[in-house]
A and B are shown apart, each in its own frame.
Chain A
């Protein structure tokens, strides 16, 4: 019995980790600046390629993954400075600008690198409970997702940067008047967001085929998690991921991946009819 229970938890953890890791970066950028980064998938792809490149050069996997996340974060800061910065007053245009960037990056990668790169296998290691065997790496991913949530909680709730960032989130003009350098806060937040995207790519690189269009695999999950989470991302993202992971897990188990994804989409469309502000609006109301 406990083996079955663990198996259910394991499947939940797998989907939950995927949702959190793919959505965290997008959610931070959206929550701070009200901008959806359409090139999110390309930062994920960047993280994956850097990881595989470094591992093929002989760098140990965990080190390569951290370096990949940092690389994606730094590129994000540059992109913020060159492009995204101009669009904070025009969020819809930021969508178009980053989508243009995404097209440029994906198709240039296809031109330069070609379609397939030699991947690295999933780290070995499995364990058995009862008659089931489980891959250890999938649990590592779950651990990473939880660590990302805890890390974001600490950064945004316990540090001085977090206080200023939340003030900027609530009222940028007022925060600026009080001396916060909102421009810098935005750049750092965008960097954190793309860094998390890079981390997502780095963590999933060993489990996937590397193709320049791999970002598209993640964007649906990240979009729907952010939509269900709602405006207050610090509050909404984790419950949204729990909710969607439950639906997805139930459908995956009985009908397969694609039906799981379709079911998740239907759930999201129903949710926005009932709760257009997302789950966080309910939580905020309860909190008061």
Chain B
């Protein structure tokens, strides 16, 4: 179990890393005691998007599948939660609504993924087919303003967005404010640990082997398509979790959180952070979301220009990602100082070193 946490596919291991992890977690847990409720709400809002980033990191960094469709599944689950919560009523059923909406997104991912992966689509085409699906969904939802567009009693409302669904609740207790914040923290820790264990397990090794060389993995006897589909469904399901949480957080969702430029955001976070490592993605995405939100208050366009610039700068200057690069420099410097001898060169981020046991 612990071996899976500290396996070869993830960076950061040993006592120092996990002490830092626990320190950050402890800080996050006591944060609401000191901060005012507005800031806590804002933090919950950033944390919503982390799942989507981690899902993309799994698909792209570990699986080698560059999906531009994270907001597609975000939208399906987001609207799914809305439709279910409105039709099934509030209270504890919202928990069922959130689970069902994520399952719907995963089912959609399984169907789309089946056609693409069994068709042998990869690389660039994988990106543009998923992006096409995303944009078409956004266009479709954008023109559903009329009263004839409804599912049950839930009106889709076109560009104005769907609203009026209940937030997450258990019985009469609405999960808001600090409660929602703690739910988010718990979910993130669970997802992060689970993904770490997944990528370090034997399944994860096949996923990485497929990224490195699909033919070779196939020759070794693995049906790579099944592993790719699994990766795609999990990654897209995490985007769906973000979507469902988003709708329940704000009690509304519009097509603009699906189409352009929203579709580019997960790509920017993960590329900037360093797609080949879960921890780098977690940290980097959070920093970017924080920065983005701070600038958006003044000008949304300026914030998006900055995001575009970061994406361009990342691929031109640090294709493996800035956060990952800086993290490696720090580790490099640390080990050199401790050993007083030339540090062993870290294997480049694309292929992590194998377990030397």
Contact = CB atoms under 8 A, between A and B. Distances in A.
A219 B263 CA distance: 14
Interface of B is mostly: helix
B129 A103 contact: no
Contacts of A34: 124
A213 interface: yes
B161 interface: no
A103 B299 contact: no
Contact of A93 (B116, B139, B315): B315
Contact of B115 (A106, A107, A269): A269
Interface string A148-184: 0000000000000000000000000000000000000
Interface of A is mostly: helix
Interface in A248-288: 258, 261-262, 265, 268-270, 272-274, 276
B267 A99 contact: yes
B124 A92 contact: yes
Residue among B112, B118, B301 with the highest chain A CB neighbour number at 10 A:
B301
A111 B316 contact: no
A272 B311 contact: no
Contact of A91 (B124, B259, B264): B124
B251 to A, nearest CB: 26
B5 interface: no
A112 B300 CA distance: 13
B143 A258 contact: yes
A100 interface: yes
Interface in A42-97: 83, 86-87, 90-93, 95-97
Interface string B121-136: 1011101110111011
Contact of B116 (A108, A258, A272): A272
A8 interface: no
A108 B304 CA distance: 9
Contacts of B259: 216
Interface string B219-256: 00000000000000000000000000000000000000
Contact of A108 (B119, B136, B305, B315): B305
A224 interface: yes
B110 interface: no
Contacts of A265: 132-133, 136
Contact of A83 (B66, B140, B299, B316): B316
Contact of B140 (A87, A111, A262, A273): A262
Interface in B133-185: 133, 135-136, 139-140, 143
B271 interface: yes
B144 to A, nearest CB: 9
B305 A104 contact: yes
B319 interface: yes
B124 A261 contact: no
A108 B313 CA distance: 17
B132 A86 contact: no
Contacts of B125: 227, 272
Interface string A214-225: 001001100110
Nearest to A96: B315
Nearest to A219: B135
Contact of B135 (A93, A111, A220): A220
A286 B66 CA distance: 33
On chain A, which size bracket covers the interface?
Answer: 35 or more
Given A92-B66, A96-B271, A272-B115, A107 B308 contact: yes
A205 interface: no
A187 interface: no
Given A91-B124, A103-B264, A273-B115, A220 B136 contact: yes
A103 B311 contact: yes
B115 A100 contact: no
A272 B139 contact: no
Contact of B301 (A107, A220, A272): A107
A261 to B, nearest CB: 6
Contact of B302 (A106, A111, A220): A111
B260 interface: yes
A83 B312 contact: yes
A95 B126 CA distance: 12
Given A216-B260, A227-B128, A90 B319 contact: yes
A213 B142 CA distance: 15
Given A91-B124, A100-B309, A268 B143 contact: no
Interface string B286-301: 0000000000000101
B307 interface: yes
A92 B307 CA distance: 18
Given A97-B316, A103-B261, A258-B140, A269 B112 contact: yes
B304 A95 contact: no
Contacts of A272: 115-116, 119, 121, 125, 129
Contact of B128 (A86, A93, A100, A223): A223
Contact of A223 (B131, B260, B314): B131
Contacts of B143: 258
A102 interface: yes
B120 interface: yes
The 10 closest A-B pairs by CB, nearest first: A103-B308, A100-B311, A100-B312, A104-B308, A107-B304, A273-B119, A276-B120, A272-B119, A107-B301, A276-B119
15 contacts: A92-B127, A95-B66, A99-B264, A101-B308, A103-B305, A107-B308, A108-B301, A213-B260, A216-B260, A219-B131, A220-B135, A227-B129, A258-B139, A268-B132, A272-B115
